[in-house]
Structure 1
Amino acid sequence: MVWTHVAFLDSAEDAGVWGTRTDTPDSLQNIKYGSERAEFDERCEIDHSRDVIYTKRMPSAFFETPLQSLLVWHQVDTVIITGGSTSGCIRATAVESLSRGYRTIVPMECVADKHESYHYANLTDLHLKYADVLPVADVLEWLNGDA
């Protein structure tokens, strides 16, 4: 499993333009290495002996990370994307995944956004153009070979 999160230097000099889009307490440039905002939710079951964690500085999990090399090495043909935000990181990763030739799946109950209007609009658009947006039960059935 591959996990990604966003984190920047204390100076935020590596945040680029994306990190300067707003100037509020919850802005991206305020996600510092080691800060609570850069941590994974405690409910995530990360296997540190097997799973891969990439720190990213842009919305797509592919952008300037070794993700593509890892997927090629393991001969992956399908990418399942979960997390937040549907209109940002999920969408950017799904578009790049499809652009790189992967079947792309988004389990609809496993993604979220700040507002449901952005969330559902992007799920609809992703399903129309870039990914199979499916109920998580269908994805699990497919993964277990029951589909």
Structure 2
Amino acid sequence: MQEKSSQVTLKSLLANDIGSGLFMKNSILTLIVFGLLSMISTVQAQSDTRSDELVFDATVLAHTCLNCHSPTATTHHDDRLAIPNILTHDAEATYQLLVAYQQDELPPNTTIMNRLVAAFNDDELKAIAEAVSAIDLEKQ
């Protein structure tokens, strides 16, 4: 009988060891899943924060136009390398040109402007055009 009780004890010890092993495996798995979910929510929170920080600034965009559209540029269209001075246009004319570029109404493959303005909506194009026409190089 004593032999039987030692077998029962051995079985119960094995059962406890197996059970605790499963518990540990489940605990580790739970910890891994929790960690991954925490990382995902952190990344999402950072992503939301970054998108809130993005600000459309037409004035900054308008000044970047001057990198190519120098105020001293020539308007001679026979010269393929000449990029016109955009500061000679009023806001409405600049807006109409931006829309024409965006809709590919101007001769294709003559400029990169269609790609530069493709992502802007109508209000943004108007704001950029107004900001370009408001640039005063003498005050800078």
The interval holding the TM-score normalised by the smaller chain is under 0.3
Higher RCO structure (Cα 8 Å, ≥6 apart): 2
Normalized per residue, the structure richer in strand is: 1
Structure with max Cα Rg = 2
